[in-house]
Structures are given as structure tokens and as C-alpha cells.
């Protein structure tokens, strides 16, 4: 029987599927310094709010931007 090789993408998808919204919120909070938002309409970048980069909003996760 051939050995199945799991790709990095497969492993990440598998991990992602086990995470709750709380887990995803924490991951965004841990990595907020490595993320930014690009708005092509005004051609500006926005940083995530360091005090609260992500929070729950109903069944979804809200991303909060730093006020300028």
C-alpha cells in the first residue's frame, strides 16, 4: 500500500477545520503585528488595532483597525 503524503496545505486545512472561532480570534490576536488591511479604493493600508485586533461578532470574527 502506498504511503499517503500530507502536504503543508493539507495539514493546515486539517488544523483549520478543528479550530473554533475563539481559537481563530486568538490566532489573529497573536499574529496581528504580521497583518495589515489593504484598501484598493483609497489605496491605503490599515493596521490592526493593537488593543483589540479581533473580537467575536455573532457567529463571525470582527477585525478591528487602528484609528488614525
- What is the number of structural domains in the chain? 1
> Which class for 6: exposed (0-12), middle (13-18), buried (19 or more C-beta within 10 A)?
exposed
Q: Which residue has the higher pLDDT, 10 or 1?
A: 10
Is residue 15, in this structure, part of any structural domain at all?
Answer: yes
* pLDDT tens for each residue of 5-63: 889 999 999 999 999 999 999 999 999 999 999 999 999 999 999 999 999 999 999 99
CB environment 32-55: b (16+ within 10 A), e (fewer): beeeeeeeeeeeeeeebeeeebbe
The pLDDT of residue 2 is above 70: no
Asked whether residue 68 is domain-assigned, the answer is no
Q: pTM of the prediction?
A: 0.78
Query: Is 3 inside a domain boundary?
Result: no
Contact 46, 39 (CB under 8 A): yes
How far apart (Å, rounded) are the C-alpha atoms in residues 52 and 65?
A: 9
Q: Residue 14: which domain range?
A: 8-63
The answer to whether residue 47 is domain-embedded is yes
Residue 49 lies in a domain: yes
Amino acid at each position: 500500500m502506498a504511503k499517503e503524503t500530507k502536504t503543508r496545505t493539507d495539514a493546515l486545512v486539517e488544523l483549520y477545520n478543528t479550530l473554533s472561532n475563539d481559537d481563530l480570534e486568538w490566532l489573529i490576536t497573536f499574529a496581528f503585528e504580521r497583518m495589515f488591511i489593504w484598501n484598493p479604493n483609497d489605496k491605503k493600508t490599515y493596521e490592526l488595532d493593537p488593543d483589540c485586533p479581533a473580537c467575536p461578532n455573532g457567529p463571525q470574527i470582527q477585525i478591528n483597525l487602528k484609528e488614525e
